[in-house]
Chains A and B, each alone.
Chain A
Protein backbone atom coordinates (compact mmCIF):
# COMPACT_ATOMS: atom_id res chain seq x y z
CA UNK A 1 0.00 0.00 0.00
CA UNK A 2 2.89 2.37 0.77
CA UNK A 3 4.22 4.31 -2.18
CA UNK A 4 7.78 3.71 -1.09
CA UNK A 5 9.16 1.57 1.69
CA UNK A 6 10.48 3.15 4.85
CA UNK A 7 14.06 2.30 3.81
CA UNK A 8 13.70 3.99 0.49
CA UNK A 9 12.21 7.01 2.20
CA UNK A 10 15.11 7.27 4.61
CA UNK A 11 17.59 6.91 1.81
CA UNK A 12 15.84 9.55 -0.20
CA UNK A 13 15.79 11.96 2.74
CA UNK A 14 19.39 11.40 3.80
CA UNK A 15 20.59 11.49 0.22
CA UNK A 16 19.49 15.04 -0.21
CA UNK A 17 21.45 16.18 2.83
CA UNK A 18 24.62 14.47 1.63
CA UNK A 19 24.64 15.88 -1.87
CA UNK A 20 23.93 19.44 -0.85
CA UNK A 21 22.34 20.02 -4.23
CA UNK A 22 19.34 21.53 -2.51
CA UNK A 23 17.34 22.77 -5.43
CA UNK A 24 17.62 19.51 -7.35
CA UNK A 25 16.83 17.51 -4.27
CA UNK A 26 13.78 19.62 -3.58
CA UNK A 27 12.62 19.06 -7.14
CA UNK A 28 13.16 15.30 -6.73
CA UNK A 29 11.10 15.23 -3.57
CA UNK A 30 8.25 17.13 -5.12
CA UNK A 31 8.39 14.86 -8.17
CA UNK A 32 8.30 11.74 -5.99
CA UNK A 33 5.36 13.11 -4.02
CA UNK A 34 3.48 14.11 -7.17
CA UNK A 35 4.15 10.73 -8.78
CA UNK A 36 2.84 8.88 -5.72
CA UNK A 37 -0.34 10.94 -5.69
CA UNK A 38 -0.77 10.61 -9.47
CA UNK A 39 -0.38 6.82 -9.26
CA UNK A 40 -3.12 6.68 -6.59
CA UNK A 41 -0.64 5.30 -4.12
CA UNK A 42 -0.39 6.34 -0.49
CA UNK A 43 1.73 8.97 1.18
CA UNK A 44 3.03 7.54 4.47
CA UNK A 45 4.17 9.36 7.64
CA UNK A 46 7.90 9.15 6.85
CA UNK A 47 7.51 10.27 3.24
CA UNK A 48 8.31 13.82 2.28
CA UNK A 49 5.22 15.94 1.76
CA UNK A 50 4.57 19.63 1.06
CA UNK A 51 4.11 21.70 4.22
CA UNK A 52 0.70 22.84 3.01
CA UNK A 53 -0.38 19.22 2.44
CA UNK A 54 0.63 18.40 6.01
CA UNK A 55 -1.13 21.46 7.39
CA UNK A 56 -4.32 20.76 5.45
CA UNK A 57 -4.41 17.18 6.64
CA UNK A 58 -3.81 18.15 10.26
CA UNK A 59 -6.62 20.69 10.02
CA UNK A 60 -9.04 18.27 8.39
CA UNK A 61 -8.21 15.24 10.56
CA UNK A 62 -8.33 17.31 13.75
CA UNK A 63 -11.70 18.71 12.78
CA UNK A 64 -12.86 15.19 12.03
CA UNK A 65 -11.63 13.87 15.38
CA UNK A 66 -13.15 16.81 17.26
CA UNK A 67 -16.48 16.15 15.53
CA UNK A 68 -16.52 12.60 16.86
CA UNK A 69 -15.89 13.85 20.40
CA UNK A 70 -18.32 16.76 20.37
CA UNK A 71 -20.78 14.55 18.48
CA UNK A 72 -21.07 12.30 21.53
CA UNK A 73 -22.97 15.04 23.38
CA UNK A 74 -26.25 15.35 21.45
CA UNK A 75 -26.73 11.59 21.54
CA UNK A 76 -25.48 11.03 25.08
CA UNK A 77 -28.22 13.50 26.01
CA UNK A 78 -30.70 10.63 25.51
CA UNK A 79 -28.84 7.65 27.03
CA UNK A 80 -30.53 8.02 30.42
CA UNK A 81 -33.97 8.42 28.81
CA UNK A 82 -33.86 5.77 26.07
CA UNK A 83 -37.33 4.17 26.00
CA UNK A 84 -36.32 0.50 25.91
CA UNK A 85 -33.32 -1.43 27.17
CA UNK A 86 -32.48 -2.61 23.66
CA UNK A 87 -32.40 0.98 22.36
CA UNK A 88 -30.40 2.07 25.36
CA UNK A 89 -27.77 -0.59 24.66
CA UNK A 90 -27.56 0.40 20.99
CA UNK A 91 -27.17 4.07 21.88
CA UNK A 92 -24.51 3.44 24.51
CA UNK A 93 -22.55 1.31 22.05
CA UNK A 94 -22.80 4.04 19.45
CA UNK A 95 -21.55 6.81 21.74
CA UNK A 96 -18.72 4.52 22.82
CA UNK A 97 -17.80 3.92 19.18
CA UNK A 98 -17.62 7.67 18.64
CA UNK A 99 -15.04 8.00 21.41
CA UNK A 100 -13.13 5.18 19.71
CA UNK A 101 -13.32 6.95 16.34
CA UNK A 102 -11.98 10.09 17.95
CA UNK A 103 -9.06 8.05 19.27
CA UNK A 104 -8.22 6.53 15.86
CA UNK A 105 -8.36 9.94 14.23
CA UNK A 106 -6.19 11.63 16.84
CA UNK A 107 -3.71 8.76 16.44
CA UNK A 108 -3.75 9.20 12.68
CA UNK A 109 -3.23 12.96 13.05
CA UNK A 110 -0.29 12.32 15.41
CA UNK A 111 1.58 10.62 12.55
CA UNK A 112 1.87 14.13 11.06
CA UNK A 113 3.83 15.43 14.01
CA UNK A 114 1.15 16.90 16.24
CA UNK A 115 -0.25 15.46 19.48
CA UNK A 116 -3.71 14.74 20.81
CA UNK A 117 -3.14 17.12 23.73
CA UNK A 118 -2.19 19.93 21.39
CA UNK A 119 -5.23 19.32 19.18
CA UNK A 120 -7.58 19.18 22.16
CA UNK A 121 -6.13 22.42 23.48
CA UNK A 122 -6.88 24.05 20.13
CA UNK A 123 -10.44 22.72 20.19
CA UNK A 124 -10.96 24.05 23.71
CA UNK A 125 -9.50 27.42 22.75
CA UNK A 126 -11.85 27.64 19.75
CA UNK A 127 -8.91 27.60 17.29
CA UNK A 128 -10.04 24.40 15.54
CA UNK A 129 -13.54 23.52 14.46
CA UNK A 130 -15.88 20.57 14.62
CA UNK A 131 -18.81 19.77 12.36
CA UNK A 132 -21.54 22.42 12.42
CA UNK A 133 -24.23 19.75 12.76
CA UNK A 134 -23.45 19.09 16.42
CA UNK A 135 -24.55 22.59 17.35
CA UNK A 136 -28.18 21.55 16.98
CA UNK A 137 -30.09 20.23 20.02
CA UNK A 138 -31.63 16.76 20.45
CA UNK A 139 -35.12 17.66 21.65
CA UNK A 140 -36.92 14.33 21.36
CA UNK A 141 -36.06 10.65 21.23
CA UNK A 142 -36.71 10.68 17.47
CA UNK A 143 -33.73 13.00 17.06
CA UNK A 144 -31.51 10.04 17.93
CA UNK A 145 -32.95 8.23 14.91
CA UNK A 146 -32.71 11.29 12.66
CA UNK A 147 -29.05 11.69 13.60
CA UNK A 148 -28.40 8.05 12.77
CA UNK A 149 -30.20 8.17 9.45
CA UNK A 150 -29.36 11.66 8.17
CA UNK A 151 -26.26 12.83 10.02
CA UNK A 152 -24.45 9.50 9.89
CA UNK A 153 -25.73 9.03 6.35
CA UNK A 154 -24.21 12.35 5.29
CA UNK A 155 -21.01 11.52 7.14
CA UNK A 156 -20.73 8.18 5.34
CA UNK A 157 -21.34 9.81 1.95
CA UNK A 158 -18.50 12.19 2.78
CA UNK A 159 -16.22 9.59 4.28
CA UNK A 160 -16.40 6.62 1.95
CA UNK A 161 -14.32 8.48 -0.66
CA UNK A 162 -11.82 9.29 2.13
CA UNK A 163 -11.06 5.57 2.32
CA UNK A 164 -9.09 6.27 -0.89
CA UNK A 165 -7.51 9.46 0.43
CA UNK A 166 -3.85 9.93 -0.58
CA UNK A 167 -2.65 9.97 3.04
CA UNK A 168 -2.34 6.34 4.18
CA UNK A 169 -3.06 6.63 7.93
CA UNK A 170 -6.18 8.72 7.28
CA UNK A 171 -7.44 6.36 4.56
CA UNK A 172 -6.96 3.34 6.79
CA UNK A 173 -8.70 4.99 9.76
CA UNK A 174 -11.63 5.77 7.48
CA UNK A 175 -12.01 2.16 6.35
CA UNK A 176 -12.54 1.10 9.95
CA UNK A 177 -14.72 4.05 10.85
CA UNK A 178 -16.99 3.69 7.81
CA UNK A 179 -17.79 0.08 8.71
CA UNK A 180 -19.00 1.09 12.15
CA UNK A 181 -20.79 4.21 10.89
CA UNK A 182 -22.77 2.17 8.37
CA UNK A 183 -23.92 -0.02 11.21
CA UNK A 184 -25.07 3.02 13.21
CA UNK A 185 -26.82 4.48 10.21
CA UNK A 186 -28.88 1.32 9.70
CA UNK A 187 -29.83 1.33 13.38
CA UNK A 188 -30.91 4.99 13.18
CA UNK A 189 -33.04 4.24 10.15
CA UNK A 190 -34.59 1.28 11.90
CA UNK A 191 -35.33 3.43 14.98
CA UNK A 192 -37.18 5.97 12.82
CA UNK A 193 -39.03 3.21 11.00
CA UNK A 194 -40.30 1.84 14.33
CA UNK A 195 -41.55 5.33 15.27
CA UNK A 196 -43.04 6.01 11.86
CA UNK A 197 -45.02 2.78 12.05
CA UNK A 198 -45.88 3.24 15.72
CA UNK A 199 -48.58 5.35 17.34
CA UNK A 200 -49.71 8.68 15.89
CA UNK A 201 -47.67 10.48 18.54
CA UNK A 202 -44.55 8.48 17.64
CA UNK A 203 -45.03 9.14 13.93
CA UNK A 204 -45.40 12.87 14.58
CA UNK A 205 -42.24 12.80 16.70
CA UNK A 206 -40.32 11.17 13.84
CA UNK A 207 -41.59 13.66 11.26
CA UNK A 208 -40.72 16.61 13.51
CA UNK A 209 -37.17 15.30 13.94
CA UNK A 210 -36.68 14.86 10.19
CA UNK A 211 -38.01 18.39 9.64
CA UNK A 212 -35.42 19.80 12.01
CA UNK A 213 -32.41 17.70 10.89
CA UNK A 214 -32.83 17.66 7.11
CA UNK A 215 -31.36 21.05 6.19
CA UNK A 216 -28.53 20.97 8.74
CA UNK A 217 -27.58 17.54 7.33
CA UNK A 218 -27.31 18.98 3.81
CA UNK A 219 -25.05 21.69 5.22
CA UNK A 220 -22.63 19.00 6.44
CA UNK A 221 -21.21 18.78 2.91
CA UNK A 222 -19.86 22.29 3.28
CA UNK A 223 -20.33 25.45 1.25
CA UNK A 224 -21.26 25.31 -2.44
CA UNK A 225 -18.39 24.57 -4.82
CA UNK A 226 -17.98 28.18 -5.92
CA UNK A 227 -17.46 29.24 -2.29
CA UNK A 228 -15.32 26.38 -1.00
CA UNK A 229 -11.83 27.66 -0.29
CA UNK A 230 -9.96 24.37 0.26
CA UNK A 231 -11.64 22.20 -2.32
CA UNK A 232 -9.52 22.67 -5.42
CA UNK A 233 -6.19 22.02 -3.74
CA UNK A 234 -7.57 19.11 -1.70
CA UNK A 235 -8.86 17.48 -4.87
CA UNK A 236 -5.55 17.96 -6.64
CA UNK A 237 -3.82 16.25 -3.71
CA UNK A 238 -6.45 13.50 -3.75
CA UNK A 239 -7.37 14.15 -0.14
CA UNK A 240 -10.82 14.90 -1.48
CA UNK A 241 -12.26 12.93 -4.39
CA UNK A 242 -15.53 14.72 -5.09
CA UNK A 243 -16.80 18.25 -4.75
CA UNK A 244 -19.14 19.36 -1.96
CA UNK A 245 -22.07 19.83 -4.30
CA UNK A 246 -21.51 16.49 -6.00
CA UNK A 247 -21.57 14.63 -2.65
CA UNK A 248 -24.60 16.63 -1.51
CA UNK A 249 -26.51 15.67 -4.67
CA UNK A 250 -25.55 12.03 -4.19
CA UNK A 251 -26.87 12.19 -0.62
CA UNK A 252 -30.22 13.66 -1.69
CA UNK A 253 -30.59 10.92 -4.31
CA UNK A 254 -30.02 8.30 -1.62
CA UNK A 255 -32.38 9.90 0.93
CA UNK A 256 -35.45 10.51 -1.23
CA UNK A 257 -36.40 6.83 -1.71
CA UNK A 258 -35.42 6.06 1.90
CA UNK A 259 -37.80 8.76 3.17
CA UNK A 260 -40.56 7.21 1.08
CA UNK A 261 -39.84 3.79 2.54
CA UNK A 262 -39.92 5.32 6.01
CA UNK A 263 -43.28 6.94 5.34
CA UNK A 264 -41.82 10.35 6.27
CA UNK A 265 -41.61 13.54 4.25
CA UNK A 266 -38.52 15.60 3.57
CA UNK A 267 -39.24 19.25 4.46
CA UNK A 268 -38.51 20.59 0.97
CA UNK A 269 -41.42 21.25 -1.43
CA UNK A 270 -38.93 21.74 -4.29
CA UNK A 271 -37.58 18.21 -4.35
CA UNK A 272 -38.39 16.58 -7.66
CA UNK A 273 -36.83 14.03 -9.97
CA UNK A 274 -35.18 15.53 -13.04
CA UNK A 275 -35.37 12.92 -15.76
CA UNK A 276 -32.97 14.75 -18.03
CA UNK A 277 -30.21 15.11 -15.43
CA UNK A 278 -30.93 11.74 -13.88
CA UNK A 279 -30.99 13.16 -10.38
CA UNK A 280 -33.11 15.05 -7.86
CA UNK A 281 -33.45 18.78 -7.84
CA UNK A 282 -33.91 20.35 -4.43
CA UNK A 283 -34.56 23.71 -2.80
CA UNK A 284 -32.08 26.42 -1.82
CA UNK A 285 -30.05 25.99 1.36
CA UNK A 286 -30.07 28.85 3.86
CA UNK A 287 -26.35 29.58 3.85
CA UNK A 288 -26.76 32.50 6.25
CA UNK A 289 -27.80 30.00 8.93
CA UNK A 290 -24.72 27.90 8.12
CA UNK A 291 -22.46 30.95 8.45
CA UNK A 292 -24.03 31.88 11.79
CA UNK A 293 -23.47 28.37 13.17
CA UNK A 294 -19.85 28.41 11.96
CA UNK A 295 -19.33 31.76 13.66
CA UNK A 296 -20.42 30.24 16.95
CA UNK A 297 -24.00 31.49 16.96
CA UNK A 298 -25.79 28.16 16.52
CA UNK A 299 -28.27 26.90 19.12
CA UNK A 300 -25.74 24.80 21.09
CA UNK A 301 -22.25 26.09 20.22
CA UNK A 302 -21.71 27.58 23.66
CA UNK A 303 -23.15 24.59 25.49
CA UNK A 304 -21.10 22.02 23.53
CA UNK A 305 -17.74 23.66 23.97
CA UNK A 306 -18.43 24.50 27.61
CA UNK A 307 -19.23 20.89 28.41
CA UNK A 308 -16.11 19.70 26.58
CA UNK A 309 -13.89 22.18 28.41
CA UNK A 310 -15.48 21.30 31.72
CA UNK A 311 -14.95 17.56 31.23
CA UNK A 312 -11.31 18.27 30.39
CA UNK A 313 -10.73 20.68 33.28
CA UNK A 314 -12.55 18.57 35.83
CA UNK A 315 -10.58 15.54 34.65
CA UNK A 316 -7.19 17.25 34.99
CA UNK A 317 -6.54 15.85 38.47
CA UNK A 318 -7.25 12.33 37.19
CA UNK A 319 -4.75 12.66 34.33
CA UNK A 320 -2.20 14.17 36.73
CA UNK A 321 -2.71 11.27 39.13
CA UNK A 322 -2.18 8.71 36.37
CA UNK A 323 0.97 10.48 35.22
CA UNK A 324 2.33 10.75 38.78
CA UNK A 325 1.60 7.08 39.41
CA UNK A 326 3.24 6.04 36.15
CA UNK A 327 6.34 8.09 36.95
CA UNK A 328 6.68 6.57 40.45
CA UNK A 329 6.20 3.01 39.28
CA UNK A 330 8.36 3.26 36.19
CA UNK A 331 11.33 3.49 38.58
CA UNK A 332 10.45 0.49 40.72
CA UNK A 333 8.67 -2.09 38.60
CA UNK A 334 7.16 -4.97 40.49
CA UNK A 335 5.55 -8.04 38.94
CA UNK A 336 2.15 -7.22 40.40
CA UNK A 337 2.19 -3.53 39.51
CA UNK A 338 -0.03 -2.34 36.68
CA UNK A 339 1.63 -1.30 33.42
CA UNK A 340 3.71 1.84 33.92
CA UNK A 341 2.07 3.64 31.03
CA UNK A 342 -1.32 4.62 32.36
CA UNK A 343 -3.81 5.21 29.57
CA UNK A 344 -4.44 8.75 30.67
CA UNK A 345 -0.82 9.79 30.39
CA UNK A 346 0.28 7.99 27.24
CA UNK A 347 -0.43 9.31 23.78
CA UNK A 348 -2.76 7.08 21.80
CA UNK A 349 -0.49 4.49 20.29
CA UNK A 350 -1.52 2.40 17.35
CA UNK A 351 -1.83 -0.67 19.54
CA UNK A 352 -4.02 1.13 22.08
CA UNK A 353 -6.34 2.11 19.26
CA UNK A 354 -6.39 -1.44 17.98
CA UNK A 355 -7.43 -2.69 21.38
CA UNK A 356 -10.15 -0.12 21.80
CA UNK A 357 -11.36 -0.87 18.33
CA UNK A 358 -11.55 -4.56 19.06
CA UNK A 359 -13.58 -3.96 22.19
CA UNK A 360 -15.76 -1.45 20.44
CA UNK A 361 -16.52 -3.84 17.64
CA UNK A 362 -17.15 -6.53 20.20
CA UNK A 363 -19.65 -4.35 22.02
CA UNK A 364 -21.44 -3.54 18.79
CA UNK A 365 -21.75 -7.24 18.07
CA UNK A 366 -22.95 -7.85 21.61
CA UNK A 367 -25.75 -5.35 21.09
CA UNK A 368 -26.66 -6.82 17.73
CA UNK A 369 -26.80 -10.32 19.15
CA UNK A 370 -28.96 -9.38 22.09
CA UNK A 371 -31.15 -7.07 20.03
Chain B
Protein backbone atom coordinates (compact mmCIF):
# COMPACT_ATOMS: atom_id res chain seq x y z
CA UNK B 1 0.00 0.00 0.00
CA UNK B 2 2.67 2.46 1.04
CA UNK B 3 4.92 1.44 -1.82
CA UNK B 4 2.12 1.61 -4.39
CA UNK B 5 1.30 5.12 -3.19
CA UNK B 6 4.94 6.20 -3.33
CA UNK B 7 5.42 5.01 -6.90
CA UNK B 8 1.91 6.03 -7.98
CA UNK B 9 2.16 9.53 -6.53
CA UNK B 10 5.53 10.10 -8.21
CA UNK B 11 3.97 9.27 -11.57
CA UNK B 12 0.73 11.18 -10.90
CA UNK B 13 2.41 14.39 -9.78
CA UNK B 14 5.07 14.47 -12.49
CA UNK B 15 2.39 13.75 -15.10
CA UNK B 16 0.41 16.73 -13.83
CA UNK B 17 3.42 19.03 -14.04
CA UNK B 18 4.14 17.91 -17.61
CA UNK B 19 0.47 18.45 -18.47
CA UNK B 20 0.96 22.12 -17.58
CA UNK B 21 3.22 22.42 -20.64
CA UNK B 22 0.39 21.75 -23.09
CA UNK B 23 0.16 24.69 -25.47
CA UNK B 24 3.37 26.26 -24.12
CA UNK B 25 6.18 24.07 -25.51
CA UNK B 26 9.05 25.59 -27.53
CA UNK B 27 8.31 23.51 -30.63
CA UNK B 28 5.45 21.28 -31.82
CA UNK B 29 7.49 18.10 -31.52
CA UNK B 30 7.88 18.85 -27.82
CA UNK B 31 4.14 19.41 -27.41
CA UNK B 32 3.80 15.83 -28.62
CA UNK B 33 6.73 14.45 -26.62
CA UNK B 34 5.90 16.07 -23.27
CA UNK B 35 2.23 15.10 -23.55
CA UNK B 36 3.27 11.58 -24.47
CA UNK B 37 5.47 11.25 -21.40
CA UNK B 38 2.73 12.76 -19.23
CA UNK B 39 0.27 10.20 -20.58
CA UNK B 40 2.63 7.29 -19.94
CA UNK B 41 3.13 8.46 -16.37
CA UNK B 42 -0.59 8.95 -15.84
CA UNK B 43 -1.20 5.42 -17.10
CA UNK B 44 1.35 4.11 -14.59
CA UNK B 45 -0.19 6.18 -11.80
CA UNK B 46 -3.65 4.79 -12.50
CA UNK B 47 -2.45 1.19 -12.27
CA UNK B 48 -0.43 1.85 -9.11
CA UNK B 49 -3.11 3.85 -7.30
CA UNK B 50 -5.67 1.19 -8.18
CA UNK B 51 -3.49 -1.32 -6.32
CA UNK B 52 -3.82 0.87 -3.23
CA UNK B 53 -7.53 1.76 -3.53
CA UNK B 54 -9.78 3.83 -5.79
CA UNK B 55 -7.64 5.89 -8.17
CA UNK B 56 -9.88 8.97 -8.12
CA UNK B 57 -10.44 8.96 -4.37
CA UNK B 58 -6.70 8.77 -3.86
CA UNK B 59 -5.87 11.45 -6.42
CA UNK B 60 -8.64 13.90 -5.64
CA UNK B 61 -9.61 13.49 -2.00
CA UNK B 62 -6.33 13.19 -0.14
CA UNK B 63 -4.87 16.21 1.62
CA UNK B 64 -1.38 17.40 0.87
CA UNK B 65 0.04 15.64 3.95
CA UNK B 66 -1.18 12.25 2.70
CA UNK B 67 0.68 12.36 -0.63
CA UNK B 68 3.81 10.21 -0.78
CA UNK B 69 5.57 11.53 -3.89
CA UNK B 70 9.16 12.73 -4.00
CA UNK B 71 9.62 16.46 -3.63
CA UNK B 72 11.56 16.40 -6.90
CA UNK B 73 8.52 15.64 -9.07
CA UNK B 74 6.34 18.35 -7.52
CA UNK B 75 8.82 21.13 -8.36
CA UNK B 76 7.34 23.76 -10.70
CA UNK B 77 8.27 23.48 -14.37
CA UNK B 78 10.43 26.62 -14.57
CA UNK B 79 11.94 27.04 -18.03
CA UNK B 80 12.40 24.20 -20.52
CA UNK B 81 15.89 23.42 -19.17
CA UNK B 82 14.55 23.16 -15.62
CA UNK B 83 11.86 20.74 -16.79
CA UNK B 84 14.38 18.68 -18.74
CA UNK B 85 16.78 18.43 -15.79
CA UNK B 86 13.89 17.30 -13.57
CA UNK B 87 13.15 14.69 -16.25
CA UNK B 88 16.79 13.61 -16.36
CA UNK B 89 17.15 13.19 -12.61
CA UNK B 90 13.85 11.38 -12.27
CA UNK B 91 13.68 9.28 -15.40
CA UNK B 92 17.17 7.83 -14.96
CA UNK B 93 16.20 6.90 -11.40
CA UNK B 94 12.83 5.51 -12.46
CA UNK B 95 14.37 3.51 -15.30
CA UNK B 96 17.00 1.94 -13.04
CA UNK B 97 14.42 1.25 -10.33
CA UNK B 98 11.93 -0.36 -12.70
CA UNK B 99 14.63 -2.47 -14.33
CA UNK B 100 15.49 -3.84 -10.90
CA UNK B 101 11.87 -4.32 -9.85
CA UNK B 102 11.13 -6.08 -13.14
CA UNK B 103 14.02 -8.48 -12.55
CA UNK B 104 12.96 -9.22 -8.96
CA UNK B 105 10.00 -11.27 -7.80
CA UNK B 106 8.20 -8.63 -5.72
CA UNK B 107 4.59 -7.50 -6.17
CA UNK B 108 5.60 -4.76 -8.61
CA UNK B 109 7.59 -6.95 -11.00
CA UNK B 110 4.84 -7.35 -13.66
CA UNK B 111 3.96 -3.65 -13.63
CA UNK B 112 7.61 -2.60 -13.76
CA UNK B 113 8.26 -4.97 -16.67
CA UNK B 114 5.61 -3.14 -18.68
CA UNK B 115 6.47 0.38 -17.60
CA UNK B 116 10.23 0.02 -18.06
CA UNK B 117 9.85 0.31 -21.86
CA UNK B 118 8.04 3.64 -21.55
CA UNK B 119 10.52 4.90 -19.00
CA UNK B 120 13.47 3.99 -21.24
CA UNK B 121 11.96 6.32 -23.83
CA UNK B 122 11.52 9.12 -21.23
CA UNK B 123 15.13 8.71 -20.17
CA UNK B 124 16.36 8.84 -23.76
CA UNK B 125 14.32 11.98 -24.40
CA UNK B 126 15.76 13.71 -21.31
CA UNK B 127 19.35 12.67 -22.04
CA UNK B 128 19.17 13.81 -25.67
CA UNK B 129 17.87 17.21 -24.60
CA UNK B 130 20.47 17.64 -21.86
CA UNK B 131 23.13 17.08 -24.53
CA UNK B 132 21.55 19.58 -26.92
CA UNK B 133 20.98 22.21 -24.27
CA UNK B 134 24.26 21.76 -22.44
CA UNK B 135 26.33 21.68 -25.62
CA UNK B 136 24.10 24.11 -27.56
CA UNK B 137 24.48 27.86 -27.04
CA UNK B 138 25.91 29.83 -24.16
CA UNK B 139 22.40 30.68 -23.01
CA UNK B 140 21.12 27.11 -23.10
CA UNK B 141 24.27 25.94 -21.33
CA UNK B 142 23.75 28.46 -18.53
CA UNK B 143 20.08 27.67 -18.10
CA UNK B 144 20.73 23.93 -17.96
CA UNK B 145 23.52 24.32 -15.42
CA UNK B 146 21.16 26.45 -13.31
CA UNK B 147 18.56 23.67 -13.50
CA UNK B 148 21.07 21.03 -12.45
CA UNK B 149 22.11 23.16 -9.48
CA UNK B 150 18.60 24.12 -8.37
CA UNK B 151 17.16 20.62 -8.44
CA UNK B 152 20.18 18.75 -7.08
CA UNK B 153 19.04 19.09 -3.47
CA UNK B 154 15.91 17.07 -4.26
CA UNK B 155 17.76 14.02 -5.57
CA UNK B 156 18.80 12.46 -2.25
CA UNK B 157 15.26 11.45 -1.45
CA UNK B 158 15.21 8.99 -4.32
CA UNK B 159 17.66 6.77 -2.47
CA UNK B 160 15.83 6.44 0.81
CA UNK B 161 14.26 3.00 1.22
CA UNK B 162 10.52 2.74 0.71
CA UNK B 163 8.61 0.43 3.02
CA UNK B 164 7.23 -2.53 1.10
CA UNK B 165 9.42 -1.90 -1.92
CA UNK B 166 12.99 -2.50 -0.78
CA UNK B 167 14.19 -5.66 0.89
CA UNK B 168 15.00 -9.28 0.14
CA UNK B 169 13.67 -10.48 -3.21
CA UNK B 170 12.66 -7.00 -4.41
CA UNK B 171 15.82 -6.57 -6.45
CA UNK B 172 16.29 -3.07 -5.06
CA UNK B 173 19.38 -2.04 -3.16
CA UNK B 174 19.29 1.71 -2.64
CA UNK B 175 23.05 2.13 -2.29
CA UNK B 176 23.66 0.24 -5.52
CA UNK B 177 20.89 2.32 -7.14
CA UNK B 178 22.52 5.56 -6.03
CA UNK B 179 25.93 4.54 -7.38
CA UNK B 180 24.51 3.44 -10.73
CA UNK B 181 22.35 6.57 -11.02
CA UNK B 182 25.29 8.80 -10.20
CA UNK B 183 27.47 7.15 -12.84
CA UNK B 184 24.78 7.43 -15.53
CA UNK B 185 23.82 11.02 -14.76
CA UNK B 186 27.47 12.09 -14.49
CA UNK B 187 28.23 10.62 -17.90
CA UNK B 188 25.37 12.49 -19.58
CA UNK B 189 26.08 15.75 -17.80
CA UNK B 190 29.79 15.64 -18.66
CA UNK B 191 29.12 14.79 -22.30
CA UNK B 192 26.83 17.81 -22.31
CA UNK B 193 29.83 19.90 -21.12
CA UNK B 194 28.05 20.60 -17.82
CA UNK B 195 28.98 19.92 -14.20
CA UNK B 196 27.07 17.78 -11.78
CA UNK B 197 26.67 19.68 -8.48
CA UNK B 198 28.68 18.36 -5.58
CA UNK B 199 26.78 19.60 -2.52
CA UNK B 200 24.46 17.57 -0.31
CA UNK B 201 21.63 15.78 -2.10
CA UNK B 202 19.26 16.30 0.81
CA UNK B 203 19.34 17.57 4.37
CA UNK B 204 18.29 20.29 6.76
CA UNK B 205 17.54 22.73 3.93
CA UNK B 206 14.42 20.76 2.98
CA UNK B 207 10.90 21.36 4.23
CA UNK B 208 10.84 17.65 4.90
CA UNK B 209 10.53 14.46 2.96
CA UNK B 210 7.86 13.72 0.41
CA UNK B 211 7.70 10.05 1.31
CA UNK B 212 6.56 11.11 4.80
CA UNK B 213 3.99 13.53 3.38
CA UNK B 214 6.12 16.62 3.97
CA UNK B 215 6.09 18.66 0.78
CA UNK B 216 7.32 21.97 -0.60
CA UNK B 217 5.09 25.05 -0.80
CA UNK B 218 4.20 24.91 -4.50
CA UNK B 219 2.67 21.45 -4.06
CA UNK B 220 -0.39 22.60 -2.10
CA UNK B 221 -1.31 25.04 -4.85
CA UNK B 222 -0.82 22.35 -7.47
CA UNK B 223 -3.22 19.92 -5.83
CA UNK B 224 -5.71 22.70 -5.05
CA UNK B 225 -6.01 23.20 -8.79
CA UNK B 226 -6.04 19.49 -9.52
CA UNK B 227 -8.72 18.66 -6.96
CA UNK B 228 -10.98 21.71 -7.09
CA UNK B 229 -13.59 20.50 -9.58
CA UNK B 230 -13.78 16.96 -8.24
CA UNK B 231 -14.22 18.23 -4.67
CA UNK B 232 -16.90 20.72 -5.76
CA UNK B 233 -19.23 17.88 -6.75
CA UNK B 234 -19.09 15.32 -3.93
CA UNK B 235 -20.16 11.87 -5.01
CA UNK B 236 -20.59 12.79 -8.69
CA UNK B 237 -19.31 10.51 -11.39
CA UNK B 238 -17.63 11.83 -14.50
Instruction: Report the stretch among B129-137, B165-173, B208-216 that lies at the interface.
Output: B129-137
The answer on a CB contact under 8 Å between A356 and B29 is yes
The answer on a CB contact under 8 Å between B28 and A99 is yes
Interface 0/1 of B47-90, CB less than 8 Å to A:
10100000110011000000000000000000110000000000
Complexed CA–CA distance, A73 and B24 (Å) = 9
Set of chain A residues within 8 Å of B12, measured between Cβ atoms: 85
| Residue in chain A with minimal CB distance to B141 | A321
Q: Does A76 sit within 8 A of B, measured CB to CB? A: yes
The answer on a CB contact under 8 Å between B137 and A311 is no
Set of chain B residues within 8 Å of A92, measured between Cβ atoms: 19, 22, 35, 38-39, 42
| Residue in chain A with minimal CB distance to B58 | A85
Q: Does A199 sit within 8 A of B, measured CB to CB? A: yes
Set of chain A residues within 8 Å of B217, measured between Cβ atoms: none
Complexed CA–CA distance, A122 and B158 (Å) = 46
The answer on a CB contact under 8 Å between A102 and B28 is yes
Set of chain B residues within 8 Å of A82, measured between Cβ atoms: 229
Q: Does B178 sit within 8 A of A, measured CB to CB? A: no
| Residue in chain B with minimal CB distance to A311 | B24
Set of chain B residues within 8 Å of A79, measured between Cβ atoms: 19-20, 22
Tell me whether chain A's interface is mostly helix, strand or loop, or mixed: helix
Set of chain A residues within 8 Å of B60, measured between Cβ atoms: 83-84
Interface members, chain A 347-362 (any B CB < 8 Å): 348, 352, 356, 359-360
Interface 0/1 of B199-235, CB less than 8 Å to A:
0000000000000000000000000011011100101
Set of chain B residues within 8 Å of A191, measured between Cβ atoms: 238
The answer on a CB contact under 8 Å between B42 and A88 is yes
The answer on a CB contact under 8 Å between A320 and B236 is no
Complexed CA–CA distance, A321 and B145 (Å) = 14
Complexed CA–CA distance, A360 and B132 (Å) = 24
| Residue in chain A with minimal CB distance to B136 | A321
Residues on B facing A (Cβ under 8 Å): 12, 16, 19-20, 22-32, 35-36, 38-39, 42-43, 45-47, 49, 55-56, 59-60, 79-80, 128, 131-133, 135-137, 139-140, 143, 225-226, 228-230, 233, 235-238
When A and B form their complex, which 7 residue pairs have the shortest distance between CB atoms, in order from nearest?
A: A315-B26, A321-B136, A321-B140, A96-B35, A99-B31, A76-B22, A318-B26
25 A–B contact pairs at CB < 8 A? A72-B22, A79-B22, A81-B229, A83-B236, A84-B230, A85-B12, A85-B49, A85-B55, A86-B238, A93-B39, A96-B22, A99-B32, A103-B28, A194-B237, A195-B238, A199-B233, A201-B233, A307-B23, A310-B24, A318-B27, A318-B133, A321-B136, A324-B140, A325-B136, A344-B30
